[in-house]
């Protein structure tokens, strides 16, 4: 019989929620009190009651009860506090509250109803019946819907005390009040009535009612009703031993139960689906985000890598360039060093070969002189002395060349090109040859036309001395020096001797020395430092040095230098 009891409880709850209609009177009075006396607690308690905040209502109404002025106010407060207590199943307190409501109050019937519900709830069915009986005397004051609930509860009370007669009477009363449109109430009422019959084993009365309620429920939309009615039918058929029908009803019952579950499950499933879809979407979004993030990281990495590579390449290029320039410098320095080394070697060989022999000669001459002095041989002394002077002269000349050469090579030679007069310069050089000419019985003729040249005087003098020395050494007895202007741009100095001349092959070599540096010269070829020095210095003065010779017809050296027109 579980199914039936379950249904009663549901009805009980529905009743307590539906007593709002009676409340209108109470409501009006409360509003009046609230507006006229401005009682804070009262207003709040009432407000909370209306809003069904029963906890707050209970607290405020108990506070308000300490401050009550009028009977109405007290009755209302007791009513709402009782109602709240009832809601919270504090039945003892609720009972106290309702009892304190005065019998003279305008909602006495409400009080009785509440007490009835209360007692029904605490299973004091007889007390409940007392209250309902008291209420029934003035039941016409109560609204139809409340009356319907009240009759029903009345009926339930009688059912509990197994007074089926009375129960049927009240259920019939209830049934008579039900509006024909209210199918749900009809089904419930019919089920209640059927229950009453069934409990009394009046199967013939009960079964058609159950069947009726079942048929109604079948047409009605409420699945719960369908479930209950089919369950009832199944139980009835089982009790009638018509198991086949019972099974059919159970099947139906299960179907409705399932469909109810299904409904819940479908809803749950769709919810779940929704959640799943959302979750999937979120996951997709997360994946997409992750992808984007990864792409960004990848891109950033690429950019960083590329720029790093660029920087690295730039650095590499820079260092490479630096290294290259360093290498260039090193190569240059190496070349310079090579030249310097060759020059040094050359100078050493000059010192060791060309310097040793004249020094030996001078030493021997001195020994000779000593002998002649011992013999008092004056003419011989003079002769040896002259020779000694000549050797010393040529040696000193060689030394000068070495000095000038090394100065020139190390870029320390004074070089100060300016306008100089040609004739005095040559005269000055020739002046130094007076002694030599005298000693060697040589004639030097000079036919000098004066000209202004742009040159460094000292370097020109060095060249002239070298050429003249050579002429004196190899050139025979007559030397002619001439100067003049050869063109607008050049003045010339020609030094011609009457010596044996230079072989053509050697001449070619000498003339080709213009562009040679010292490291390219083979000492064994007999080309001396003097010629190279001459070439270098003339070139430095932007001049031209040429050697011309015919065998046995002497050599002619021409020095051409930039001319400044006077």
Partner 1 sequence: MNKLRLLLLEDLDKEANALITVLQENNYEVIRVRNAEEAEKELKNRFFDIIILDIMIDGKPEGIALAERMIKQEVNIPFLFLTSMQSKAIFEQAKFTNPFSYLLKPHNELELLYALELAIETHFKQENSISFNKNSAVLSPEFLFVKKRKSVVKIEVPAINYIEVQEKYCSLQCDEGSYLIKMSLKKIIELLSNNDFKQVHRNFLVNIKKIKEIYFEDNLIILDSRDKIPFSERYKASFRRDNPIFN
Please give the residue ranges that form the binding site for partner 1 (CB under 8 A).
Answer: 407, 412-414, 416, 419, 421, 424, 427-428, 431-432, 450, 452, 458, 566
Cβ-based nearer residue to partner 1, 294 or 423: 423
DSSP 328-395: HHHHHHHHHHHHHHHHHHHHHHIIIIIIHHHHHHHHHHHHHHHHHHHHT-HHHHHHHHHHHHHHHHHH
Q: Strand 443-448 vs strand 478-485: parallel, antiparallel, or unpaired?
A: parallel
Cβ-based nearer residue to partner 1, 411 or 515: 411
Distance CA 52, CA 61 (A): 13
Cβ-based nearer residue to partner 1, 379 or 565: 565
The answer for residues whose C-beta is within 8 angstroms of residue 212's C-beta and 6 or more apart is 190
In the numeric block, which tokens belong to residue 202? 């009046």
Helix, coil or strand: residue 177: helix
Residues in the chain: 566
CA atoms within 13 A on the CB side of 463: 29
Cβ-based nearer residue to partner 1, 161 or 407: 407
Contact at 8 Å (CB) between 441 and 467? no
In the numeric block, which tokens belong to residue 500? 């044996």
Residue 432 CB, nearest approach to partner 1 (Å): 6
Percent of the chain that is helix, strand, coil (3-state, to 5): 75, 10, 15
In the numeric block, which tokens belong to residue 439? 């000693």
Distance CA 1, CA 13 (A): 20
Cβ-based nearer residue to partner 1, 357 or 410: 410
Residue 487 CB, nearest approach to partner 1 (Å): 20
Residue 347 CB, nearest approach to partner 1 (Å): 17
Cβ-based nearer residue to partner 1, 296 or 428: 428
Cβ-based nearer residue to partner 1, 380 or 430: 430
Please give the angle made by the CA atoms of 256, 258 and 262, to the nearest 5 degrees.
115
Rg, C-alpha atoms of the chain: 74
Contact at 8 Å (CB) between 175 and 193? yes
CA atoms within 13 A on the CB side of 483: 18
Give CA separation, 324 vs 69, 169, 178, 259, 328, in Å: 113, 124, 114, 92, 6
DSSP 29-60: HHHHHHHHH--HHHHHHHHHHHTT-HHHHHHH
Residue 420 CB, nearest approach to partner 1 (Å): 9
Residue 321 CB, nearest approach to partner 1 (Å): 35
Cβ-based nearer residue to partner 1, 271 or 449: 449
Tokens 């307190």 belong to 93
Number of H helices, E strands in the chain: 21, 7
Helix (H) / strand (E) containing 559: strand 555-564
Residue 529 CB, nearest approach to partner 1 (Å): 18
């Amino acid at each position: 019989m579980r199914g039936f009891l379950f249904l009663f409880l549901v009805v009980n709850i529905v009743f307590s929620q539906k007593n709002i209609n009676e409340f209108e009177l109470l409501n009006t009075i409360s509003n009046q009190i609230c507006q006229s006396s401005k009682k804070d607690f009262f207003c709040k308690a009432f407000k909370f009651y209306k809003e069904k905040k029963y906890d707050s209502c209970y607290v405020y109404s108990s506070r308000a009860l300490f401050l009550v002025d009028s009977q109405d106010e007290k009755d209302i407060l007791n009513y709402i506090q009782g109602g709240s207590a009832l809601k919270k199943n504090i039945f003892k307190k609720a009972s106290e509250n309702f009892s304190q409501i005065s019998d003279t109050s305008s909602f006495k019937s409400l009080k009785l109803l509440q007490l009835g519900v209360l007692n029904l709830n605490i299973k004091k069915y007889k007390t409940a019946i007392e209250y309902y009986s008291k209420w029934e005397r003035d039941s016409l004051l109560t609204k139809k819907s409340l009356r319907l609930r009240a009759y029903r509860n009345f009926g339930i009370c009688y059912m509990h005390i197994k007074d089926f007669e009375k129960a049927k009477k009240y259920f019939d009363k209830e049934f008579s009040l039900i509006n024909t449109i209210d199918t749900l109430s009809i089904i419930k009422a019919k089920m209640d009535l059927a229950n009453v019959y069934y409990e009394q084993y009046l199967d013939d009365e009960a079964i058609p009612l159950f069947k009726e309620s079942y048929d109604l429920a079948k047409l009605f939309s409420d699945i719960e009703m369908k479930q209950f009615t089919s369950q009832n039918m199944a139980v009835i058929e089982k009790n009638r031993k018509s198991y086949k029908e019972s099974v059919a009803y159970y099947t139906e019952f299960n179907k409705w139960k399932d469909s109810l579950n299904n409904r819940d499950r479908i809803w749950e499933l769709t919810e779940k689906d929704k959640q799943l879809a959302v979750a999937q979407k979120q996951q997709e979004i997360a994946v997409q985000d992750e992808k984007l993030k990864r792409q960004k990281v990848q891109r950033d990495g690429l950019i960083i890598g590329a720029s790093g590579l660029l920087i690295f390449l730039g650095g590499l290029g820079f260092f490479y360039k630096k290294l290259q320039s360093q290498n260039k410098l090193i190569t240059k320095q190496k070349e310079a060093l090579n030249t310097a080394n060759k020059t040094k070697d050359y100078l050493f060989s000059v010192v060791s070969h060309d310097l040793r022999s004249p020094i030996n000669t001078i030493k021997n001459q001195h020994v000779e002189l000593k002998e002649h002095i011992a013999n008092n041989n004056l003419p011989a002394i003079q002769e040896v002395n002259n020779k000694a002077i000549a050797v010393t002269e040529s040696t000193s000349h060689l030394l000068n060349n070495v000095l000038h050469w090394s100065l020139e090579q190390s870029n320390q030679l004074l070089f100060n090109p300016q306008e100089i007069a040609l004739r005095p310069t040559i005269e000055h050089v020739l002046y130094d040859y007076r002694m030599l000419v005298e000693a060697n019985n040589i004639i030097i003729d000079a036919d000098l036309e004066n000209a202004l040249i742009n040159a460094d005087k000292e370097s020109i003098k060095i060249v002239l001395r070298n050429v003249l020395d050579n002429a004196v050494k190899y050139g025979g007895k007559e030397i002619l020096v001439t100067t003049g202007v050869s063109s607008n741009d050049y003045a010339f100095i020609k030094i011609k001797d009457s010596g044996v001349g230079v072989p053509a092959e050697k001449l070619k070599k000498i003339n080709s020395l213009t562009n040679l540096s010292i490291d390219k010269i083979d000492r064994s070829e007999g080309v001396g430092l003097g010629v190279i020095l001459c070439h270098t210095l003339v070139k430095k003065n932007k001049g031209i040095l040429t050697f011309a010779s015919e065998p046995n017809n002497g050599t002619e050296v021409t020095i051409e230098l930039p001319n400044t027109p006077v």
